[in-house]
Structure 1
Amino acid sequence: MLYPLFFVAVYLSHFRLLRLPYFWDEGGYYIPAAWDFFRTGTLIPQSTVTNAHPPLPSILLAGWWHLSGYVVSGTRTLVCMVAAAALLGVFKLAKTLTTAGVAAVTVVLTAIYPVWFAQSTLAHADIFAAAFSLWGLAFYFNREGAAETPSRLGLNTIYAAAMFSLAALSKETSIVTPAALALWEIVLLQKNRREPLSRRLHFRWIVALLAPILPLAAWYGYHYRRTGFVFGNPEFLRYNATANLDAYRIVLCLWHRFLHLFAHMNMFVPVVCTIAAMLIPVAATNSRPPISRPALKAIGVILLANWIAFSVLGGALLTRYLLPMYPLILLVCVNTWCRRIPERWPLLAALSAAAFLAGIWINPPYAFAPEDNLTYRDFIVLHQQAIRFIDLKYPQATVLTAWPAVSELNRPELGYTNHPIKTTPIQNFSLDQIQRAAADPGSYDVALLFSTKWAPPANRVNLGRQNESADTKYFDFHRDLSPAEVAILLHGEVVWQGHRKGEWAAVLHFPRIVEAALLPLQKPGDSYTVGKIHPPLPISPE
C-alpha cells in the first residue's frame, strides 16, 4: 500500500527532470545497449563497445519501451518506479530492525540525499542494482526480532537469493554484498559450530548468499562464447581492474571512498550528529529498541566490504557505485539519535534534511561528478543549447568534440538532435589534445567544447587543490582549456558560449581558406581542380 505513495513522491519531486536527454554513461552505454536489445533482441550491444555489464537493465528498459514507447520521459518514469521500489525496500529493512518512525525518517533522508536524488531518474544500472540489493538485505535481516522458524527461514533465504541474483544481473559489482555476508555467516558458523540448530541456519544462509554467483557466472560464460572476452573488451578490463593494482592508488582510493561514504554531499552532517549523540548515555527509562548487535555487525561487514572493494575496482571513483550503502549509514544514524536523544532527535533529522536539500542545488568546495546532484541538469541544458545552435547554423559541419558529446551528436535517439552530425573525436580539451587537433585542421570546421570536469572556480575555496597531482596521475584529472585559449590555438572564433553554476559549453567556428589550382591531366585538353586547405588566417569569415 505504501508503494504508490512512494512512487508519486519520487515522480513529482523529479517532474522537471523527466524530459531531459540522456546524460553521460546513459548515452555512452546503458541506453545504446538497451536500444540494441529493443530493436534486435541481442543481449550483446552492437552499436556501442561491449563491456560485459549484465543485461537485466537492458531487458527491463526494452520491455518498458514496448509499453511506453521509446521516449525519454518513459525511461525516466521507469527509473522513478525502480527508485520508489528501492525506498520501499529501505522502509522494510529499517522497520524490521527498528521502529516505523525511524524507518520513515530514514526513507525521507535517503530520498533527498543528493546522490540518491540525482540517480532516481538516471538510467544507470546502479539504481536497479541498489533496489534489488536493498530488498535482498530486507529479507536477510528479516530474521531479526523473532525466532527464525524453518518455514520462515526457507522463504527468507529464497527471497534473499532471488533479490541478490537480480542485483548481480543488474550490476556485476553487486555480488560484493552477498559475498561479504556469506563470509560473515561462515565466521558465525565456526563460532556456533557446536549448536546444531544454529549450524543448520548459518549453512542455509551461506548457500543462499552464494547462489547469486551462478547466474552471474552463466552470463559471463554466455558473453565469452559470443565475444571471446569474459569481462568485456581488454581496455575496459584494464581501466577498471588491472590498472588499479597500485598500492599508493589503493590507499588514495580508500581515503576518497571513506569521504564518499561519510562526508560527501553533506553526509558529514548526520554522521557528526551521530558521533556527538554517541557521547550521550542512553537513559535508563528509554524503551526504544536498538538495532541488535548481530545486525549492526552485519551492516558493518557490508560497509567495510564495499568500501574496500570499490577502492580496488573501478577506474572512476563514482559515488553511484555506493548507492545501496547510504540508506544503511542513515539508518544507523537515525536509530542512534532516537536512542540517545529521544526528545530532540527530530531536530537532528531536520538539520540533516536541510543539509541534503541544500546539497541538491549547492555545489561543494571540491571537484565532484555532476551526476552527484542537479549539476548534471546544467550539463545537459548547456549541451542542448550548443547542439541546437550547431543544428541551426552549421547543419553540415564536422564537429571537433569529446565524449559524451560525440554520442550526443552521432546518436539522435539520445534526444539532442534529430539527425546524426559528423564528428572528429578527441579525449578531452587539455593542451595536449588541442595541440593534436591543431595538427589536422582539415578534419573539422566547428568545435563543441564543454567542461569535462566540475571544479570550484579559481577564485573560490577548493579543498581538493592539494590532491590535484595525484588525481591527475590516477584518476584522469586534467585542466580543460578555456574557449578563448582553444580559439587562439586552433585559429578559430567563439560563436556561442553559455555558463551555468560552474558548467560551461562553447561552439567555435573555423573559417578555412581554400587555394584552387588547375592541374593538367594525362589526356591533353582535360583538367581538374584540387583544393588545398591552408592554416586559417586571422580574418573575418566573409
Structure 2
Amino acid sequence: MDNSTFPVSAAEHDPPDAPTAASKGYSLPWLPLIFAGVYLLHLPLMRLPYYWDEGGYYIPAAWDFWRLGTLIPVSTVRNAHPPLPSVLLAAWWHVTGFHIYSTRLLMCLVTSVALLAVYRLARQTAGQAVAAAVTVLTALYSVWFAQSTLAHADMFAAAATLWALVFYAESFRDGQGASGAARCGAWVAVCFSLAVLSKETAIVTPAALFALEAVRWWQMRRERGGGAAGRRQAWLVAGLAFPVLPLAAWYAYHRAKTGFTFGNPEYLRYNATANLSVTRVLLSLWHRLVHLTVHMNLFVPALLTLATLGLPVLAGRRRLSRSFAVSLVVIICANWVAFSVLGGALLTRYLLPVYPLLLLLFVCEWQRRVAKWWVLAAVTLVAFAAGCVVNPPYPFAPEDNLAYEDMIRLQQQAIQQVVEHRPGATVLSAWPVTADLQRPELGYVTHPVRTAEIQNFTPEEVAKAAQEPGNFDTAIVFSTKYNPPPGGLNWASHTTQADARYFDAHRDLLPAEVARSLGGTVVWQAERHGQWAAVLQFPRSYDARLGTTTPTAALR
C-alpha cells in the first residue's frame, strides 16, 4: 500500500503498491506475541487490589451485572456510562471466576488488541519499521502503560476506536469496489459503535471524522460529480454517522429505567454544566495541551520532532499522505477541545487513543528526515520508561504512571494495620479508602469495616470531622494525589490557585496535623516516592467499646 492512498483530490493521488499481508488482515498472528509482552511487563501488578475509579464504579457495575444481570448498577452511583465494559467483564468472570487476577488478565488482553490495532494502522500507512516503533513506544508510554491492567472503560474504548481507524484507513484503498467500500464502512460503524458503548465520550472521534469526510464528500461531488469514488465516500460517511444510534438507544433505555438521561443530576453538573465558564475552558485547554505535548516525558519526542522539521526530506523515504495526516490532526484537535469542556476531572486516560496517533505523526517525520531515526526512537523509549517510575515536578493523578501502585500499596498496608490491630474500629477516611473498607470484593478486606467519611484531608474537611468526634475512633489518612515536595521544583506553581478553584486541587494536611486537629495519635505511617498514608488512633470511643457490651454513641 502506497503512502498516498488517502487522497483529497486527484492531484494528490499516486499509484498504490500492491496490498500487503498486513493490509489484508494477516496481522492477527502478532497478537500472542504482543500479549506475552504486555503480560510479562505487568506481571508484578497483576494481583494489585482495585484502584480509584475501578473500585468506585467499574468493578461494582460489572459485579452487579454478573450477579443480577442489570445493565444499570444498583450498588454504586448511576452515572449513565454505557454498559459494554460491565458486560465483557461479567462474561469473562463467568468463564474464569471473579477475582482480581482474572480482571487484570482480561485488561492485558484488551490492551494487546488495542496495540495490535496500533501496529496495523501504522504499518498500512507508514511501513513495518515505523509500525514496530510506534507500537513499542505506545506500550511503554506511562499513561498507556499504567492503564494497561486497570479496569477502566477507557482502554475498552481505545481498542475499539483504534480498530475503527484501521478500517477507516482501509476504506480509501485504491481499486476497492463497492462491496469492499461497504465492508469497510460497516466495520467502521461496528467498531465505533463498540467504542461509544464502552465510553460515551468516544463519540468525539467519529463525530469529528464524520464532519471532515462529509466536507470531502461534498467537495468530491462538486469537483467530479460523484461517481464510484463518491459512492465509496458515501459508505464511509454513513459508517461514521451510525454510532450515534446505539449511543442514543442506550440513553433512551437509561432514561426509561431511571428517569435521567445522562446519569444523576450531580454527575451531569460535575462533568458538563459546571464546566462551561470561559476561564475554566481556557485553563482546561492549557492543561490538555500540556497532556498532549509535555506530560510524562512526551516533550522528548515532541522536541525531537520539532528539531527534525528543519532537516531536508531524505530521498525515497515514505510519508503519510497529506489527507490522512489531516485526519489525524482533526482527531487530535477534536479530542483536545472536547475533553477541555467535558469531564470534571482532567484525567489523561480520556486521551488514551490519541497518544498512538501523536506518536505515529512523530515517528513518520523522524524516518523521513533522519537516516538513523531509530536512535530518536530509542531515546524516546528510555524517556518513556523513566516516566513510568520517575514522578514529574508537578502535581498529577497517580494513575498516569506507576505512582498508582504506590498509592494502592500504602492504602493496603494502612487497612491491614487497622484490620489486625484495631478490630471492630469505626474508621474515619475519604474515598476511595472508605469504599475499600466497605466492599470486600475490591480486595482490601475480607469483611466490611464501619466507616465515617469526609471528602478529603483539607483543613475544612478535617474541621467538620472534629465537630463529631464520637462518630469514629480510628482514621486512615493518605495523600489523595501526588504533589511535589514542599520547597522543591513545581512547574505548576503558577496555576495553583486556579487549579484549586476549578479542578479540586488542594493540599492535604499531613498525618501529624490531622492528629493535632482531631486529638489523636499517629500509630502507623509510611511513605513511597512522595505519597504517604497513616493510621491515627482516637482512644476515647474505641476503649469505651472494648470495656462494655453496650453500644456507644460512636456506633452507627
Q: How has the CA–CA distance of structure 1 residues 504 and 29 changed in structure 2, closer, same or farther, with 3 Å as cutoff?
A: same
Structure 2 match to 1:279: 310
Structure 2 match to 1:433: 461
Q: Alpha-carbon deviation of 1:494? A: 0.3
Alignment equivalent of 1:29, drawn from 34, 57, 65:
57
* CA distance in 1 between partners of 2:146 and 2:140 (Å): 9
* CA distance in 2 between partners of 1:515 and 1:398 (Å): 12
Deviations 1:316-345 (CA, angstroms, capped at 9, x unpaired): 00000000000000001111100111x220
Q: How has the CA–CA distance of structure 1 residues 338 and 493 changed in structure 2, closer, same or farther, with 3 Å as cutoff?
A: same
Q: How has the CA–CA distance of structure 1 residues 241 and 393 changed in structure 2, closer, same or farther, with 3 Å as cutoff?
A: same
Alignment equivalent of 2:359, drawn from 330, 333, 339:
330
Structure 1 match to 2:14: none
Structure 1 residues 26-175: aligned runs within 5 Å: 26-144=54-172, 146-175=174-203
* CA distance in 2 between partners of 1:191 and 1:37 (Å): 47
Structure 2 match to 1:453: 481
Would you say 1:303 and 2:332 are equivalent positions?
A: yes
Counterpart code for 2:380: S
Would you say 1:218 and 2:218 are equivalent positions?
A: no
Counterpart code for 2:259: G
* CA distance in 2 between partners of 1:435 and 1:123 (Å): 35
Stretches of structure 1 lacking an aligned partner (at least 5 in a row): 517-528, 534-542
Structure 2 match to 1:357: 385
Counterpart code for 2:246: P
Counterpart code for 2:199: K
Structure 1 match to 2:413: 385
Q: Alpha-carbon deviation of 1:203? A: 2.2
Q: How has the CA–CA distance of structure 1 residues 246 and 532 changed in structure 2, closer, same or farther, with 3 Å as cutoff?
A: closer
| SS of corresponding position for 2:191 | helix
Q: Alpha-carbon deviation of 1:128? A: 0.3
1:514/1:531 contact within 8 Å kept: no
Structure 1 match to 2:321: 292
1:224/1:230 contact within 8 Å kept: yes
| SS of corresponding position for 1:508 | strand
* CA distance in 1 between partners of 2:416 and 2:143 (Å): 29
Would you say 1:474 and 2:474 are equivalent positions?
A: no
| SS of corresponding position for 1:365 | coil
Structure 1 match to 2:277: 246
1:112/1:357 contact within 8 Å kept: yes
Q: How has the CA–CA distance of structure 1 residues 506 and 150 changed in structure 2, closer, same or farther, with 3 Å as cutoff?
A: same
* CA distance in 2 between partners of 1:172 and 1:15 (Å): 31
Q: Alpha-carbon deviation of 1:144? A: 4.4
Q: Alpha-carbon deviation of 1:171? A: 0.1
Q: Alpha-carbon deviation of 1:530? A: 10
* CA distance in 1 between partners of 2:384 and 2:174 (Å): 35
* CA distance in 1 between partners of 2:336 and 2:175 (Å): 32
Stretches of structure 2 lacking an aligned partner (at least 5 in a row): 1-28, 545-549
Deviations 1:56-85 (CA, angstroms, capped at 9, x unpaired): 000000000011111100000000000000
Identity, in percent, stands at 55
Q: Say which is worse superposed, 136-145 or 273-282, in terms of deviation.
A: 136-145
| SS of corresponding position for 1:258 | helix
Deviations 1:380-430 (CA, angstroms, capped at 9, x unpaired): 000110001100111101100000001100000000000000000100000
Alignment equivalent of 2:349, drawn from 313, 316, 320:
320
Alignment equivalent of 2:427, drawn from 392, 399, 402:
399
| Number of residues of Structure 1 aligned to a counterpart in Structure 2 | 518
Q: Alpha-carbon deviation of 1:154? A: 1.2
* CA distance in 2 between partners of 1:60 and 1:71 (Å): 15
1:361/1:374 contact within 8 Å kept: yes
Q: Which runs of 4+ in 1 moved over 4 A?
A: 513-516, 529-533
| SS of corresponding position for 1:495 | strand
| SS of corresponding position for 2:535 | strand
Select the structure of larger CA radius of gyration: 1
| SS of corresponding position for 2:486 | coil
Would you say 1:200 and 2:228 are equivalent positions?
A: no
Counterpart code for 1:429: F
Q: How has the CA–CA distance of structure 1 residues 412 and 154 changed in structure 2, closer, same or farther, with 3 Å as cutoff?
A: same
Q: Alpha-carbon deviation of 1:96? A: 1.1
Deviations 1:44-66 (CA, angstroms, capped at 9, x unpaired): 10000110000000000000001
Counterpart code for 1:325: V
Counterpart code for 1:332: L
TM-score normalized with structure 1 length: 0.94
* CA distance in 1 between partners of 2:514 and 2:399 (Å): 26
Q: Alpha-carbon deviation of 1:152? A: 1.7
* CA distance in 2 between partners of 1:268 and 1:118 (Å): 18
Counterpart code for 1:308: V
1:96/1:145 contact within 8 Å kept: no
Deviations 1:473-527 (CA, angstroms, capped at 9, x unpaired): 00001110011011111000001111000110000010117999xxxxxxxxxxx
Would you say 1:237 and 2:268 are equivalent positions?
A: yes
1:244/1:315 contact within 8 Å kept: yes
Q: Say which is worse superposed, 148-157 or 37-46, in terms of deviation.
A: 148-157
Structure 2 match to 1:523: none
Structure 1 match to 2:217: 189
Deviations 1:264-309 (CA, angstroms, capped at 9, x unpaired): 10111111111111110113xx212210011001111101110100
Counterpart code for 1:353: L
* CA distance in 2 between partners of 1:138 and 1:211 (Å): 17
Q: Alpha-carbon deviation of 1:456? A: 0.4
| SS of corresponding position for 2:539 | coil
| SS of corresponding position for 1:193 | helix
Counterpart code for 2:522: V
* CA distance in 2 between partners of 1:173 and 1:10 (Å): 26
1:450/1:506 contact within 8 Å kept: yes
